[in-house]
Amino acid sequence: MAVVALGYACQAKKADTTATDATMTDSTAVVGTELVLKVTGMTCEACETKITDGLKTLPGVLAVSASNLDSTATLTIDTTLIQKGLIVATIAELGYVAE
């Protein structure tokens, strides 16, 4: 009995995962241009966080990660909502130089 019940639980979970995948596919259909910026001035993880937090709230920024070791910020953006110039300007406001 317990095994049967578990079996049903697994099936239900599988169905949920499929539904989530389908939703994610729909939302990423709009997406996404990768943009890699050279960022000067980052010295530690706090800098990375500052840039990441500052950029991820911008409309059109779908994903962002910053690396002080590589001196880069890598973004996935919706170019219909945001342009590179605004991202560079936002990074400048945060106290770093991006190009």
Contact status: 64 vs Cu ion (CB under 5 A): no
Contact status: 44 vs Cu ion (CB under 5 A): yes
Binding-site member from 12, 15, 36, 46 for Cu ion (CB under 5 A): 46
What CA–CA distance (Å, rounded) separates 14 from 46?
39
- What minimum distance in Å lies between the beta carbon of 42 and Cu ion? 6
What CA–CA distance (Å, rounded) separates 36 from 26?
25
Total binding residues for Cu ion by CB under 5 A?
A: 4
Task: Decide: helix, strand or coil at residue 44.
Answer: coil
Q: Which residues are near Cu ion by CB under 5 A? A: 43-44, 46-47
